[in-house]
Structure 1
Amino acid sequence: MVAVEEITRQVLRNCSISDAKYAGNYSVCGLAMRLRDLYKWEKGLEPWIEEQPPVLLEWIGRKEEEWEGLMESDLGEITIDGSPYPPFDVEKINERLEPLGFCYGAGFVHGLKPTFFFAPIEEKRRMNGTTIFLLGRELARDLLTLPAMTQDNSILIRWESVRLFLWNQIFFVKKSGREPLRSALKIYGANDQDPVSLQQNLNRICRDELETYIHHELGEIRENAFDRKMWREIVSQLPHTPVEILVRALKDILADTGEHGCLSHIIRERKISSLCFYTAFLDGLKKELFHDLPKAFERFEKSGEWPLIEQASVSAFRRAKKHAEAVIRLFVEGREKNDLQWAGKEIEREILKPLGPGRER
């Protein structure tokens, strides 16, 4: 008999070890935001509930003490019924857990930070030949509020993280995104100036917008304009650098604007709410790569002409593909020179600098 509590304990420990070792990757503000999310999950709070600062700060202090004691620890194996598995052997671990209704997630994110979670499976379905898991309340998670991810060519939708992620996006939207955000919320009978209407409609919005997350991940799986093997090599060789941020942004734009991506899905389905949200939340380096969209959206709101959005999407795809090819060319040249530092500097000079700084929060 699989002891769910013991698996939860093991995954939580690995989450804490990863958080302890990689917390320094984030700015003070970025870490505070992630700790805030982790606290809400741990305490079972709704996304809109904010803890009193003294209580939250006391909890953060205890969390940092816990991390201090784990700094020298290695990630542990996940043992199921006496059989140990390496923590990234998700295929074999899930072979044991899926029949019992659970899903284990593991991977690497920005700066090659390991990320883990463990959750019950609420729903399993197929779309375009891809298996999609909708997961319930997580039993274990780390600092990162990731709404969706691909794993072994399956898509994992983390419902709890979807709710918190979308709430945060709405709450912290930049000034340039406020008008498209208001347009999106109006479709759902909500208002960004009326927190109660947002709270009442959050679940409905999340359910209706799930397809956007699914199709982004489908785009990641299907789009090959940025060779996946090469992309992984670049990220692994130049982690926690502006180049890593660039190639992640390029992959996202290529996924979204490719044939199977979320923007292509939005255009096919003529889904105005999703287009509004996508435009509202487009920022940072991705906005620089997709600079056509805000102006196209302004014109779309007046005319309702979807070809405007389609043209902007095609332009963004071509631009991102061109940049990806340049990144690969410079990286390969640097590898041949046995000087990846040179490659990183050249990629920044030739591609990143003209786009703008594109810094992660």
Structure 2
Amino acid sequence: MQASELRELSLRVQRNCDIADARHAGNDTLCIYLLKMREFYRWMRRLPYSAPLDREEVGDWVIRQERLWEDLEDKDLEPLTLGKTRFDPFDHESVNRRLDPHGLVYGAGYGRGARPLFFLGSVVSREEFDGYRIYVVGEEQARDLVAPPAMSRGEVIFVRTESVRRMLHEMIEAWQFRGSPPGDAMARALAAYGCVSDNDAGFDAMVDSEVESAVWHEVGEVLAGRLLGAAWQERTLEVAGTRGERVMRAVRDHLADSLTTLPALLDSDHDGALHFYFANLTGMRAVLAPRLRKAYEAWTGTGSRHALKRLVAPSREHWLSVARLLLETPPESWPISDEALPALRLSGP
């Protein structure tokens, strides 16, 4: 394959990313949108997180990007081409069979609200394990405004190192801005890694560890997918953009974590990754799992992981039961209002 063909592929992937952004970039609140645009600008310019930004220059770039999106808003996603072969933009398997010898990997799927997601990046590692394939992705040549740290599609897992690094930086930055208490989960995670900024060895160690944790979570996602079947994805698309989707994603995340992530973290001797797991236990996931937080507090108070380890098996049974309830019950009958939500929670002593 010629270098010119790979450059053309990168341009086509980025165009589909731009088309997806044109349709969905405005779905966030203004504050979240501007934060994403700032991060996207850094990526486009290959700037480190510590680099100061020129406000006027960023503002001019945002205007140009929004004009591009306006021109693309009504366009359809385009097929990808390699040589004389055309590929559906979601056919990542066929594209990757052609890219594997070149150290590149292509990812395609759907995110929250049925938003298309695409990227093209370099392969850091590729592993075949128990019927599924795991790609750890390094530098990316094309991506969307939204760049989740990890995603799975069928039996294929993608973990994106650049996005893991960005996520950690943003979480630490937000934690510092809030002036959070020195003894919370994030403070404990940073202390365990000896991490004080995004430029030191502690931060790099944290990135490496969270890449591994992301792999375990996505393995759990694959296993959860095997348990739940294709009907789960169909139901998720049915409730896309609603509170029901947030509940479904939180339930599946918890099921995946009870299958692989938590057992792996609890078997590890390194406390940092486990502390970070709870620092990142927020939003609907936190609302649905108060018992998990209580077990974490027992560990930090006593030094014993017994309560957490004892909770893994009941968690697995609970979240699988809740997931099946969501599949078997019409969405309009789900107990997901603020008043009814406790019916789905992992609670108890």
Please give the TM-score of this superposition, normalised by the length of structure 1: 0.86
Give the Cα separation in 2 of the matches to 1:318 and 1:121.
36
Partner residue of 2:347? none
Residue 147 of structure 1 and its aligned partner are, at CA, apart by 1.4
**Secondary structure in 2 aligned to 1:115?**
strand
Larger mean CA deviation between 54-63 and 249-258 belongs to 54-63
The alpha-carbon distance between structure 1 residues 72 and 129, as it changes in their structure 2 partners (threshold 3 A), is closer
Aligned letter for 2:22?
A: A
The alpha-carbon distance between structure 1 residues 45 and 355, as it changes in their structure 2 partners (threshold 3 A), is farther
Give the Cα separation in 1 of the matches to 2:324 and 2:211.
31
Larger mean CA deviation between 297-306 and 284-293 belongs to 297-306
String of CA shifts for 1:198-257, please: whole Å, max 9, x gaps.
645322211133221110001011135861312111111121111111101111010001
**Secondary structure in 2 aligned to 1:4?**
helix
Residue 271 of structure 1 and its aligned partner are, at CA, apart by 3.2
Aligned letter for 1:243?
A: G
Residue 103 of structure 1 and its aligned partner are, at CA, apart by 0.6
Larger mean CA deviation between 122-131 and 303-312 belongs to 122-131
The alpha-carbon distance between structure 1 residues 56 and 326, as it changes in their structure 2 partners (threshold 3 A), is same
Partner residue of 2:81? 79
Partner residue of 1:319? 318
Residue 136 of structure 1 and its aligned partner are, at CA, apart by 1.8
Residue 4 of structure 1 and its aligned partner are, at CA, apart by 1.4
Partner residue of 2:346? none
Aligned letter for 1:75?
A: L
Residue 262 of structure 1 and its aligned partner are, at CA, apart by 1.0
The alpha-carbon distance between structure 1 residues 112 and 187, as it changes in their structure 2 partners (threshold 3 A), is same
Partner residue of 1:9? 11
**Secondary structure in 1 aligned to 2:186?**
helix
**Secondary structure in 2 aligned to 1:139?**
strand
Larger mean CA deviation between 102-111 and 144-153 belongs to 144-153
Percent identity over the alignment is 28
Residue 353 of structure 1 and its aligned partner are, at CA, apart by 4.4
Task: Verify the 8 A CA contact 1:48 1:167 in the aligned structure 2.
Answer: no
1:41 aligns with 2:43: yes
- Count of paired positions: 338
The alpha-carbon distance between structure 1 residues 352 and 315, as it changes in their structure 2 partners (threshold 3 A), is farther
String of CA shifts for 1:102-122, please: whole Å, max 9, x gaps.
111100000111010001212
Task: Verify the 8 A CA contact 1:242 1:348 in the aligned structure 2.
Answer: no
Partner residue of 1:296? 295
**Secondary structure in 1 aligned to 2:140?**
coil
**Secondary structure in 1 aligned to 2:113?**
helix
The alpha-carbon distance between structure 1 residues 350 and 284, as it changes in their structure 2 partners (threshold 3 A), is closer
The alpha-carbon distance between structure 1 residues 295 and 349, as it changes in their structure 2 partners (threshold 3 A), is closer
Partner residue of 1:279? 278
Residue 172 of structure 1 and its aligned partner are, at CA, apart by 2.1
Task: Verify the 8 A CA contact 1:177 1:279 in the aligned structure 2.
Answer: no
Partner residue of 1:216? 217
String of CA shifts for 1:127-178, please: whole Å, max 9, x gaps.
4553322222100000112112223412222111111112112222474896
The structure 2 residue matched to 1:109, chosen from 108, 111, 114, is 111
Residue 190 of structure 1 and its aligned partner are, at CA, apart by 2.0
**Secondary structure in 2 aligned to 1:305?**
coil
Q: Cα RMSD between the aligned structures?
A: 2.3
Task: Verify the 8 A CA contact 1:145 1:165 in the aligned structure 2.
Answer: no
1:184 aligns with 2:189: yes
The alpha-carbon distance between structure 1 residues 29 and 108, as it changes in their structure 2 partners (threshold 3 A), is same
Alignment of 1:122-271 (within 5 A): 122-173=124-175, 175=180, 179-191=184-196, 195=197, 199-223=200-224, 227-258=228-259, 261-271=260-270
The alpha-carbon distance between structure 1 residues 293 and 152, as it changes in their structure 2 partners (threshold 3 A), is closer
Larger mean CA deviation between 293-302 and 239-248 belongs to 293-302
The alpha-carbon distance between structure 1 residues 353 and 49, as it changes in their structure 2 partners (threshold 3 A), is farther
Aligned letter for 1:44?
A: R
Please give the TM-score of this superposition, normalised by the length of structure 2: 0.89
Give the Cα separation in 1 of the matches to 2:320 and 2:126.
33
Task: Verify the 8 A CA contact 1:147 1:161 in the aligned structure 2.
Answer: yes
Give the Cα separation in 2 of the matches to 1:263 and 1:274.
10
Partner residue of 1:67? 69
Partner residue of 1:359? none
The alpha-carbon distance between structure 1 residues 205 and 81, as it changes in their structure 2 partners (threshold 3 A), is same
String of CA shifts for 1:235-287, please: whole Å, max 9, x gaps.
111211111111011110100012xx211111122431111000111101000
Structure 2 spans left out of the alignment, 5+ residues: 344-349
**Secondary structure in 1 aligned to 2:334?**
helix
Structure 1 spans left out of the alignment, 5+ residues: 332-342, 357-361
**Secondary structure in 2 aligned to 1:87?**
coil
Task: Verify the 8 A CA contact 1:256 1:262 in the aligned structure 2.
Answer: yes
The alpha-carbon distance between structure 1 residues 70 and 291, as it changes in their structure 2 partners (threshold 3 A), is same
Task: Verify the 8 A CA contact 2:125 2:136 in the aligned structure 1.
Answer: yes
